[in-house]
Chains A and B, each alone.
Chain A
């Protein structure tokens, strides 16, 4: 069975090797890249501080959190789904880390547990993964629409975070040497080779998922389910498994951001990550992914995250009014997606024309790029 679907995936992969499709993908990403270059040029003209090395690192650190969330979001969107719960998962996993660092009281045994930092990190990543797993099961097995399932989880996860903290943040995260749980903040605030930890995390996540999407059967299955779920199922793709797995991965990404954000703020606050899901979705669509699924790349998503992050920071830097900032950000999102749609329509028309004259089947297959 898996052999068969593997073969189907290989066949699809073989089709996308044609240079034409790569060129098309390049154009698609080129648009976002062009917007990014434009932002850099405009802001460096308007502010002498925009292009300083320090500021570039700072802005990239801001971008990194959103980019990691957006990578998880891309996986879900490739499947034609959406994950609205990531912002709440950010808050929840941060709070879980905070709680564990304060010490976990087990009333029945009357003991306090102080887990080591690596345990704390694994457990809070695990909590995010669990949230994602629940999303995945509800979507894939119970057939609840992703928008609804994850909207529900948005409230549930935030509620649990508030419940754990009783509304007040955990802020003594240094740990104690005697308890063997120090180093959490030092690790997350570290900057090996001058790059802050969130940037390293972004590079790591992007590299892993770029390989997963382009080289692994899972990646091919994902593009196939997003392009045409029924066809994918018939050709032997384990649709439900793929669907569950992407929400798990999105939850994992959100949990990683929760940890990074907790390090950034030196405190685990239950309100962390509110509305992060919207910025992540924006990055994915600016990066050229289709909300209907089947189309989008890690590279594009990263560029999308940089566009949003650099735009927001740049506007603050040159002192544009807060209200204008929102209007401009919104306009950029709409323009990006509108241009994308325009391009899609034109492309469809062109390939329809091509299909009429010499019949080339490879042209008509949706490109899993």
Chain B
């Protein structure tokens, strides 16, 4: 009998903790949304679905979206799919069940996300994509991406200049299932191919990850101790490479290029360990996406003629790194 009571009591505690944390989070959401009724809308929820809330890049995206949504007089829910298309599918399903007004989505894969976006659109919920695109047009209301090709070009140009137009280098490649890995790599290659004295010694896939970047770089250092340059598909891998180069005491003669413009990378640029990084205008893109979502909810149109909108990236070198005021924001 006692056991049964103990079991029931334990379950009760669980229920209470569940209820309390659910209650507290929803109360914060409503309290922050209530006073900002300036938009004149009747409110409702806009769902934000991002990739990874433990990564500063997507944190910037999620925080910007949440702030902008609440500023416009709506409630925001924030979730992350972890680049898992199935999880994304489930989050979209739940958003539909929850009868949200709109969805701001950073999609998990160009092909894999089409069905999920279609489902929400079929349910009458406008979906606005930010940061990455899907492989079909005419489903999402907007697809706002940073211009990765342009970003790779300006990054590579700065790096080539730092290299003096010659030398031997290796490349760290992003997650091959992510189209941006190829776009950036191709962008780098297009610039570098004009310099015959720049020789590529090797390439490794490090999946956007700092730890993998370090490991793969250590292997590359062992194989090619004569390298003088590293181009990485993103900042995390570049920072991993810098750690490996530090360990091998080669950092002073190797020029590293990153991409994304994370706070850590800009610090590395400031201290001279990274030659340059390319700021992805994620804050700008997210702000635009929310503004277009709100506009769509009011008028039935996003107010922007094109579904696909690309925003140019900004080069960050030692010269302008001081203008980087908060994560992923450059002062004009």
Instruction: Give the interface of A toward B (CB within 8 A).
Output: 31, 34-35, 38-39, 42-43, 45-47, 49-50, 52, 54-55, 58, 61-62, 65, 162, 166-171, 261, 264-267, 269-275, 312-313, 315-324, 328, 331-332, 335, 339, 342-343, 346
Contact of B78 among A43, A55, A166, A322 (CB under 8 A): A322
Question: For B97, what are the chain A residues with a Cβ–Cβ distance below 8 Å?
Answer: 49-50, 52, 54-55, 58, 317
A269 near B176 (CB under 8 angstroms)?
no
Contact of A62 among B45, B90, B99, B179 (CB under 8 A): B90
From 71 to 107 in chain B, residues with beta carbon under 8 angstroms from any chain A beta carbon are 77-80, 83-86, 89-91, 93-94, 96-99
A169 near B177 (CB under 8 angstroms)?
yes
From 1 to 58 in chain B, residues with beta carbon under 8 angstroms from any chain A beta carbon are 3, 6-8, 10-11, 14-15, 17-19, 21-23, 25-26, 29, 45, 53
Q: How far is the CB of A42 from chain B (nearest CB, A)?
A: 6
A38 to B98, CA, bound (A): 20
Question: For B19, what are the chain A residues with a Cβ–Cβ distance below 8 Å?
Answer: 42, 45-46
Question: For B79, what are the chain A residues with a Cβ–Cβ distance below 8 Å?
Answer: 316, 322
Q: Is the interface of B mostly helix, strand, loop or mixed?
A: helix
Q: How far is the CB of B20 from chain A (nearest CB, A)?
A: 11
Question: For A324, what are the chain B residues with a Cβ–Cβ distance below 8 Å?
Answer: 21, 25
B297 at the binding interface (Cβ < 8 Å): no
Closest A residue by C-beta to B23: A46
- Ordered by A's residue number, 13 sampled pairs between the chains whose C-beta atoms are within 8 Å are A31-B7, A35-B11, A39-B18, A168-B177, A171-B135, A269-B85, A274-B84, A313-B93, A316-B90, A317-B97, A317-B98, A322-B53, A346-B3
Q: How far is the CB of A345 from chain B (nearest CB, A)?
A: 10
B29 near A319 (CB under 8 angstroms)?
yes
Number of interface residues of B (CB under 8 A): 47
B312 at the binding interface (Cβ < 8 Å): no
Q: How far is the CB of B255 from chain A (nearest CB, A)?
A: 28
Q: Is the interface of A mostly helix, strand, loop or mixed?
A: helix
Question: For A168, what are the chain B residues with a Cβ–Cβ distance below 8 Å?
Answer: 111, 176-177, 179
Instruction: Evaluate whether A267 and B112 lie within 8 angstroms (CB atoms) in the complex, with A42-B19, A171-B135, A328-B18 already known.
Output: yes
B109 at the binding interface (Cβ < 8 Å): yes
A339 near B85 (CB under 8 angstroms)?
no
B86 near A272 (CB under 8 angstroms)?
yes
A332 to B77, CA, bound (A): 23
Instruction: Give the interface of B toward A (CB within 8 A).
Output: 3, 6-8, 10-11, 14-15, 17-19, 21-23, 25-26, 29, 45, 53, 77-80, 83-86, 89-91, 93-94, 96-99, 109, 111-112, 114-116, 135, 175-177, 179
Contact of B112 among A39, A49, A269 (CB under 8 A): A269
Contact of B85 among A39, A271, A332 (CB under 8 A): A271
Instruction: Evaluate whether A342 and B3 lie within 8 angstroms (CB atoms) in the complex, with A42-B18, A267-B115, A316-B79 already known.
Output: yes
A169 near B14 (CB under 8 angstroms)?
no
A365 to B78, CA, bound (A): 52
Additional A-B contacts beyond A38-B15, A312-B90, A316-B94 (6; CB < 8 A):
A58-B94, A62-B93, A270-B177, A316-B77, A320-B22, A342-B3
Contact of B14 among A58, A273, A331 (CB under 8 A): A331
B112 near A58 (CB under 8 angstroms)?
no
A269 near B111 (CB under 8 angstroms)?
yes
Closest B residue by C-beta to A166: B176
Question: For B6, what are the chain A residues with a Cβ–Cβ distance below 8 Å?
Answer: 342
A267 near B111 (CB under 8 angstroms)?
yes
B22 near A46 (CB under 8 angstroms)?
yes
Question: For B8, what are the chain A residues with a Cβ–Cβ distance below 8 Å?
Answer: 34
Question: For B10, what are the chain A residues with a Cβ–Cβ distance below 8 Å?
Answer: 335, 339
Contact of A58 among B18, B96, B116 (CB under 8 A): B96
Closest 5 CB pairs of A and B: A167-B176, A171-B111, A266-B115, A55-B97, A319-B77
A34 near B90 (CB under 8 angstroms)?
no
Question: For A343, what are the chain B residues with a Cβ–Cβ distance below 8 Å?
Answer: 3, 7
A359 to B54, CA, bound (A): 59
A34 to B134, CA, bound (A): 42
Question: For B14, what are the chain A residues with a Cβ–Cβ distance below 8 Å?
Answer: 35, 38, 331-332, 335
Q: How far is the CB of B67 from chain A (nearest CB, A)?
A: 16
Question: For B99, what are the chain A residues with a Cβ–Cβ distance below 8 Å?
Answer: 49
Closest A residue by C-beta to B81: A322
Q: How far is the CB of A353 from chain B (nearest CB, A)?
A: 15
Closest A residue by C-beta to B84: A274
Q: How far is the CB of B307 from chain A (nearest CB, A)?
A: 19
A273 to B87, CA, bound (A): 10
A162 to B175, CA, bound (A): 11
A150 to B29, CA, bound (A): 44
Q: How far is the CB of A266 from chain B (nearest CB, A)?
A: 4
